[in-house]
Every structure is written in C-alpha cells, then in structure tokens.
Chain A
Amino acid sequence: MAERKLRILVGKPGLDGHDRGAKVVARAFRDAGLEVIYTGLHQPPEQIVSAAIQEDVDCIGLSILSGAHNTLLPRVCQLLKDKQAEDISVFCGGVIPEDDIPGLKAAGLKEVFTPGTSTEDIVAWVKANIAC
C-alpha cells in the first residue's frame, strides 16, 4: 500500500527582517525526510493559510520574533477554522514569553517552542504528534 509523505509549511509571519531560524528548521525537516513548503518572510496569516490548504500540508510551523505573536498566531488558527481546515496543526517557535503560552494554546496552537529548543527536539515532536 502507498505511504503518505509528511508535508509541512514553514514560514515567518510578521514584519521583522530575517529568516535564519526558519531556514534552519526547514532544513532539519528536509533532513528528516519531510517535504517542506518554505514560504519565506513577511507572510500575512491569510497567505499562510491559503498556501497550507493548496499544499495539503499536515502542519504549519511558524517562526516569530516580532512580538506580534498574540495577534498573528491566533489569527492563523482562526482562519483555518473558518476554512474548515483546523485539522492542519499549527506550532510556533520564537521569542515568546511564558505567560503568553497558555493563551496561544487556548487559541489553537498545538505547541510553542521557546528559544533554546533544539531542532532535533522540534523534528521529534512533529514526528510524534503529527499524523498524515
């Protein structure tokens, strides 16, 4: 029987300027055998969600540093719900204060990785928690 290949979208919402972290994570996923749709910088939530649907990804990994996480990330989750696509899981990594994490999870984020999490840990989490 044919086997599913995990597909993941990696992108970076928000206005701040570099995507080194997102690229490192994208490469780690590729090296773990995933197909990574890399959409780059400055992605508004609408574009992220449309891309995720067109690409039929199993999950979305967002890198965020800009401090706008409390608006951008719940917005991605809400748009997925609006499009009946909440089966696509969302996780994020970035500079996110501990206090904000419960709120983000309540808004639909499946996991939040704070600085210092290794890419190995992130890949392991995806493999353990995302089914395709």
Chain B
Amino acid sequence: MGLAERILAGDLRAAARLMRDVDDGFASALEELKVLYPHTGRAYIIGITGPPGAGKSTLTDQITAAFRLQGKRVGIVAIDPTSPFTGGAILGDRIRMNRHADDPGVFIRSLATRGALGGISRSTGEVVNIMDAMGMDVVIIETVGVGQDEIDIVRMAHTTAVVMVPGLGDDIQAIKAGILEIADVFVVNKADRDGADRTARDLAVMLEMGKRQEGDWLPKVLKTEASRNKGIDELVAEFENHRQHLFSSGRIDHFLREKCAVVFSEMLKDRLFSAVLDRITADGRFNSTVESICQRDHNPYSAVETMLAEFLNRPATSL
C-alpha cells in the first residue's frame, strides 16, 4: 500500500512520513498528495498568529482542549523559525501542548520555516491537507511570531486570530495596518497583566475606524489568560461565529476560490520555473546566458524571451 492509502486507513506513521516527504521536497510525495486531494476540504482551519511569546502555543493548547470536549479531532501545525546560519531549528511549541501528545484525537506536527518568510513553511498547506485527509475536524496553524505581514496564513485559514499582549500602550499606533486587516478575531492574551483593558480598548477603537462595508465582519477583541484557561470558551465561540458568518454570507465561496487560485498559480510558477531552469542548467545554457548578459553581448530581456519562445514553442515576437 502507498502512503496515501495507509493514511486513509488511519496509519499515523504513514501520515508523519508523507509530511516529511513533502517538507523535504520528495517528488514521490506529489503522487500521494494526488490521491489524498479528493479527501480534503472538510477540516475547519484556524490560524493563530502574533508576536513571539504572546502565548500562541498556550492558547492553541487550551483551544484544542475545548474542541476535544466537543468531540472534535484536532490537528495542529506549529511553525518555528529555522536558523539562517546553520539550517537547524529548535521546535519548541509542543512544550505547551504535551498533555495532548498521546490523545488519539490530536495530531501535532512541528515544522521549521526552512527559509520561508511570512510566518509559515512552504509545506504548511500540504501538511494541513494531510491532516484534513486524516479526518481532523479542526486544524490549527500556529505561525512563527513575526507579527506582521502574515498574509500567507490568511489565505490558508478560514479564521485567523491575532494574539497580542498588554503593554503595547501607545505603541499600538505603530501596529502595522496589515495586522488589523488579517484578524478575524483579536486576542489580548495575558489579561492578568496591567494594561489589558487599555490595549483591548485601543484595538477596538482602531478596528472601528477601519474601512468596512455593509455586511462585513467586524472582528471582536477578546481578552484571555491562556495559562489559566480563562476566556477560552468565548474565543472558541467566536471562532464558530466567524465560521457561520463565512458560510451564511456566502463569502466562503470567494475564500475558497481565492485559495485555490493562489495554490494553483504558485504551484504552476514553481514547476514551470524549475522545469525550465533544470533543463538550461543541465545543457549549460544557464551559465553561458548569464555570461553573455554580463559581457553585454545579450540583454536579459531578449534572453528571457528567447527561452520562453523555445519552451512555449512560439515565436519570440508573439510574447
């Protein structure tokens, strides 16, 4: 049996191995993913993002416990940064989630960014799909704590929670405009600390000032104390509110279409580029073309057009 069949039959080791094959870029993984694809699209995907140390893993742990009480199976993808100097990584998010480690209704996978920017690894979408095919009802993605520009998670998750902590104080003005737009729910975690009310209020004011149209979702600001399991039920209820809004407003169709369009175009771009690059590297033309561009014998514009014409089997003038 192939990995995909074994995964569909409930084999955890097969799932873990396919995740690794995807992460390591094994071509064989594509064949397995093809088999799994029809079995995906069922899981509800939640993104948890926010600055380092805000409590994302602790929240993920508590949210998971709440979903488990509802009888839902939960997959967790926890991403931590790869060291740019050594290529190694310490993936430590599991520390906060250990109590779920041997629950058969929970599957946790730690991923390293491996050079990807934007808060998630390149493999994240596929790892989520594998969990989806494993029958997870909910998949939670914990991004790297970069705190800005996490546009990638927004496309991937039905609902994105941005986690903040008190003490941002006046700096709240400095929060990147982008972060306001990506949140479907704002969480002010560590509500036991001074300034939580103020941070929550400031955020709410900023959100209300934001541009919005009739019928748009207005993100709420919720306070939590993840380490003492406070505010978690409200947060999980708000996830459900947002999910219902997605479906009842019909926005889910737009969301899914956008997501598929991005997946398809990104994949097309990668595969086309590597197909061309592999060939012209193998026959030496990559180096010779670079050389002639350096020498000003050719210009890069025409060189690219010549390559494209050849690969697309069309005259260069038509490009």
Contact = CB atoms under 8 A, between A and B. Distances in A.
B95 A38 contact: yes
Given A29-B88, A51-B108, A39 B16 contact: no
Nearest to B20: A56
B13 interface: yes
Contacts of A48: 101
Interface in B66-87: 82-83, 86-87
A40 interface: yes
Contacts of A20: none
A2 B26 CA distance: 6
Nearest to A58: B20
Contacts of B89: 30, 35-36
Interface string A23-43: 000110111111111111001
B203 interface: no
Interface of A: 2-5, 7, 26-27, 29-40, 43, 46-51, 53-56, 83-85
Contacts, number: 88
A29 B109 CA distance: 19
A50 B101 contact: yes
B108 A35 contact: no
Interface residues of B, number: 30
A36 B93 CA distance: 11
B102 interface: yes
A5 B90 contact: no
Interface of B: 12-13, 16-17, 19-20, 23-27, 82-83, 86-92, 94-95, 98, 101-102, 107-110, 112
A62 to B, nearest CB: 14
Contacts of B17: 56
A112 to B, nearest CB: 24
A38 B80 CA distance: 11
Contacts of A47: 98, 101-102
B27 A40 contact: no
